[in-house]
Chains A and B, each alone.
Chain A
Amino acid sequence: MVKLRNIEKSFRHGLSQTFVLRRINVDIAEGQFVSIMGPSGAGKSTLLHILGMHDSAWTGEYWLGDEPIHQHSAKERMRLQKQHIGFVFQSYHLLDNLTVYENIDLPLSYRDVKKTDRQGMVADILDRFAIVGKKDLYPNQLSGGQQQLVAIARAVVAKPTLILADEPTGNLHSDQGREIMELFKRLNEGGTTIVQVTHSEVNATYGHRVIRLKDGWVLDEN
């Protein structure tokens, strides 16, 4: 599903150049649950944001299915991102001014889904995530775990084929973290490809593979 070839990202400082990612070659098959691990500054989040098409300043080849992302314009990348990718952040990033319902509805509204269809889709997700009773609450009225639950609901509502999660349990205590990881596992079993960045060896065990990065290089894969 994802094929990365010789992906590199660097910053120039005067005459010198600092590499954040070096010669990244990775293949991720459809339906896989992959964990990216490594010490701070290894380039994990950078790689995730390149996969999420939030970052376009890199070189190399990035194939998403049959689509050569590296050749696409920003507009085309935007279209593919909307179509295929859902993102989950460590600090949830729910919008404070919107209710749970509106937060989940937001990605659909950006995809120009008709209002009647959106209502059905959001209701379905609220039901699946068992948060119907919280749909009119604002984020600050929820616990951290509940907020991340809503964030994941928001990430999956548009039915992405690939979920990218940046340390999704980093701000949660262990019980809440476990629930979230169980949820990812269920989503993965339902067919969604998942790539997570994590520091936790325990969380990595929920997936099929671990890619370890260090200083921008892929250290090993298993």
Chain B
Amino acid sequence: MFQDLRHAVRSYLRTPGFTAVAVMTLALGVGGATAIFSVVDGILLRPLPYADASRIVRVARISATGTTDGAFSAGDFLDVKREAPSLVHVAGYREDISDVTGTGEPVRVPGVQTTAAFFEAFQVTPLVGRVYTAGDEGRGALAVISEGLWERQFGRRDDIVGTEIRVNGTPTEIVGVVPESVRHPIEADLWTLAPGEVPTSPIPSDGLADREVQYFAALARLAQGVTASDANAQLRALGERLGQQFPDTNRGESFHVRPLADSLVSDVRAGLLVLLGAVACVLLIACANVAGLMLARSLVRRRELAVRASLGASRWQLARQLMIESLVLAVAGGAAGIVLAVWGVDLLVALAPEGLPRLADVQLDWRVAATASLATTVVGLLAGLAPALQSSRPHLNEDLKDGGRTGTASRTRFRSGLVVAEVAVALVLLVGAGLMVTSLFRLRSVDPGFRTTSLAAVELPIPQSRYAGPAQGRFYSEVLARLRAHPATAMSALVFPLPLRGSNASADIEVEGQPATERPAQRLAELNMVSAEFFQTMGLRLMRGRGFSATDVDGQPPVVIINERLAAEFGDTDPIGRRINLGSWVTIVGVVSDARRQSLEAAPKPAVYLPYGQFVLPFMSVVVRTEGSPAAVASVVKAAVRELDPDLPVETVRTIEEIIETSTGQPRFRATILLAFASLALMLAAVGVYGLMSFSVSQRTSEMGVRLALGASPRQVGALVMRQGLLLAAAGVGLGLALALAVGRVIAGMLFETSATDPRLYAGLGALLLTIAALACYVPARRAMRVDPMRALRSE
């Protein structure tokens, strides 16, 4: 056995070319598959790290228009909590900026304000102290911190429990520390207990009875023995009852639950599964390549195997030798693959778009590494073993005589089949990547409706506890005045929500003079709160009427500006001077050009702009048109804020181009990874074609010699090889095109303004693959052209 091992290692060292190609092929297949599967496993497949995690559900509201935006009003939440016995530990939560002071430097940490049952829904065991529970409801001023914050801010102090900190200025007691694994549904460092039965509202509302201001999310645990569909039936019935009871706010609305693990990843599931499919293709090509290489090697070695058999080696001894050789290769390839996988996982996490959920759960999956190594080993083993088992006694004589040059036709056909399959799968990947890249390119060329150059933005949320009511507007006005006084930020404006950051604010509207549409088909418009300079700063054009002025403030008649999309709904009537109802009646004073707000993909929707002087929120952002760098803008913004509130941290200033880059992160991630896999597949397929043709030429050296001796020109001999290789590649391209059409349908939903059956793309990539195949055939063809007939015939 040890001797076999030694011989195997030595034989690989003596054929470094073969060994390098085989090990790299294995490594790329195993490494790629392991890295991508680790990401998919961490994000999609692995259960959340909580006890009985499948029972944790997100509870969402289904709006009258059918969208499941999830946000709850206080009234609806309390009804669900009280009247849905299929749910226990129903908890509300909302993201909250949390400025923590009283621990040295003030720090802003990602925070969540939750109701009392939040940790019970997760059944979290704290590292230190306790978590707040239903029994603490109404107490407020209690906080649980993450292990990370405990470490960074408190140096893992033992006496952390009972420590008093100020969260957004409010004295708050830390009751416990939870482990890093607690990071769902929102990654946070600080959880604060809401002072009442629901999280505090960012805008004025009617308290616990309010059903119009929907501003927080909810989750719960399914009661023991209850399924999600049981709970959904109960919630539907509750929704219908509330619809009858409160027709103005609830007609047509309903509620539903969905496992939290599913709801976290619903946006990325399809994309990740496409990547998983892509990596499976690469693994398939790698397997085919390894099988082809092993087959070629074993054919070349038939004489050696025959000699061994004639010296007394039994079939088992021959098989064992080949198995050990395959294992040596698998171990080397697997080890290199795992190194690649470790890098690959790090690279994927680094490349991952902002907002990819559960990224922190991603880690190298050793089971996958082992399975992928095993798969390639078995394939290599079977391909290499078959000829050994076939070197049965009756053929030994022939094998000894001709060294395995005859009787190889069926195996060469098999290997040709492998190459056709490799080319086909490579084309499928190329087409997939081509479609994704085209789609990304088209997405990036979309005109968002505003000028993206020389535009910087920073989100400037303020804690409600310190800025209530009119103080919010005063703060933002002061900031704006300071920015406009500085030459670097002279053209500045306020806005909520910041375009392309995914935030949403919308309202049902009713147009004066038009019959009020019955719910649930009311007209939905995007809401934007802006300062007067917003349109000029962003580069939106005023089409009709006037912009906002300094006089559009509280106490004056409420006014709005609408976009062209909404203006179009007035038909031939001029919308200027008409009124719309957003809960209260407001007058339209202007029309501006359309702009995309939610994302580049989504076409502009009907939109309403409200002057922030009349409608302010504590989450405004600043946009600045500047020729200076973001850093210069940042220092001006920081100075302005520091003058007004030294305890208020300022977030990173980013250019709008960076924001667009982030907003297209997911399609870019998909396109980048697919392109990488497609390139890899192309390379492996080229190696496959080259390997086969090279082997074929070496097997047919004497035939080439005879042809040359009989008067064939070297060019004719070269053409013979090229023709053979290109015919195989063409068969692969044909098969690949058919497969790609089917795969195109699967990914069509992820494409932006790109046809999944674009004939130019298919033809172009088919031609590319044929060109690469031609290049791969050229080297063996050159070798065939240089065969010396004398030597070739003598070697026979």
In the complex with contacts A93-B307, A95-B304, A109-B3, A46-B397 CB distance below 8 A: yes
Which of B14, B310, B312, B317 makes the CB contact (< 8 A) with A97? B14
> A74, A87, A89, A107: which contacts B393 (Cβ < 8 A)?
A74
Residue B227 at the A interface, CB < 8 A? no
Contact of B396 among A54, A95, A102, A107 (CB under 8 A): A54
Closest to B307 in A: A93
What's the least CB distance linking B298 to chain A, in Å?
A: 14
**Binary A-proximity of B284-315 (CB < 8 A = 1, otherwise 0):** 00000000000000000001100111111110
| Contact assessment for B394 and A81 in the assembled complex, using a CB-CB cutoff below 8 Å | no
Q: Is B700 part of the binding interface, using a Cβ–Cβ cutoff of 8 Å? A: no
Q: Which of B10, B310, B311, B397 has the most CB of A within 10 A?
A: B311
Task: Kindly state whether residue B581 has any CB partner on chain A within 8 Å.
Answer: no
A106-136 contacts to B (CB < 8 Å): 106-107, 109-111
Is B11 in the interface zone, CB < 8 Å from A? yes
B7 CB–A CB distance under 8 Å: yes
| Bound: A93/B397 CA distance, A | 13
Chain A's closest residue to B15 (CB) is A97
Residue A53 CB within 8 A of the other chain: yes
Residue of A nearest to B12 (CB): A97
Q: A81 contacts B312, CB within 8 Å?
A: yes
* Max chain B Cβ within 10 angstroms of own Cβ: one of A95, A96, A107: A95
| Interface contact B310-A87, CB-CB below 8 Å | yes
Contact partner of B313 among A49, A52, A102, A110, CB < 8 A?
Answer: A110
A78 contacts B10, C-beta separation under 8 Å:
no
Picked from B303, B308, B394, B401, the residue with its CB within 8 Å of the CB of A106 is B308
Whether A95 touches B307, Cβ cut-off 8 Å, given contacts A78-B314, A107-B312, A110-B317, is: yes
A53 to chain B, nearest CB (A): 7
Indicate if B400 sits at the interface (CB-CB under 8 A). yes
The interface residues of chain A lying within 8 Å CB-to-CB of B312 are 78, 81-82, 107, 110-111, 158
CA distance A46 to B401 in the complex (A): 11
**Bound Cα distance A93, B306 (Å):** 9
A71-B400 Cα distance, complex, nearest whole Å: 26
Report whether B310 and A52 are in contact in the complex, using a CB–CB cutoff of 8 Å.
Answer: yes
Interface size class of B (residues with CB under 8 A): 20 to 34
A195 to B7 alpha-carbon distance, docked (Å): 32
Contact B311 A56 (CB under 8 A): no
Total A-B contacts with CB atoms under 8 angstroms apart: 57
**Does B397 contact A97, Cβ atoms closer than 8 Å?**
no
Task: Check A27 for interface membership: any CB of B closer than 8 A.
Answer: no
Q: Is the CB of B7 within 8 A of A93?
A: no
Chain A residues whose CB sits within 8 angstroms of the CB of B400 once the complex forms: 54, 89, 93
Given the interface pairs A93-B400, A97-B14, A109-B3, the reply to whether A55 lies near B393 with Cβ below 8 Å is yes
Q: Enumerate chain B residues within 8 angstroms of A53, measured Cβ to Cβ.
A: 393
Q: Are B394 and A95 in contact (CB under 8 A)?
A: no
Separation of A48 and B268 alpha carbons in the complex (Å)? 70
| B308 and A54 within 8 A (CB) | no
Contact of B10 among A49, A56, A57, A97 (CB under 8 A): A97
Question: For residue B11, which residue of chain A has the nearest CB?
Answer: A97
Q: In the complex, which residues 21-64 of chain A have their Cβ closer than 8 Å to any Cβ of chain B? A: 45-46, 49, 52-57
Chain A residues near B11 (CB, 8 Å)?
A: 97
A98 within 8 A of B: yes
Q: Are A54 and B313 in contact (CB under 8 A)?
A: no
Given A110-B308, A110-B317, A154-B311, 20 other A-B contacts at CB below 8 A?
A: A45-B401, A46-B397, A54-B397, A54-B400, A55-B396, A55-B397, A56-B393, A56-B394, A82-B312, A87-B311, A93-B307, A93-B400, A97-B11, A98-B7, A102-B7, A106-B308, A107-B311, A107-B312, A110-B312, A110-B313
Q: 16 A-B residue contacts at CB 8 Å?
A: A45-B397, A45-B401, A49-B397, A52-B310, A54-B393, A54-B396, A55-B393, A55-B394, A74-B393, A78-B314, A89-B307, A93-B310, A97-B7, A97-B10, A106-B311, A107-B312
Chain A contacts to B: CB under 8 angstroms: 45-46, 49, 52-57, 74, 78, 81-82, 87, 89, 93, 95-98, 102, 106-107, 109-111, 154, 158
Closest 3 CB pairs of A and B: A110-B312, A54-B396, A82-B312
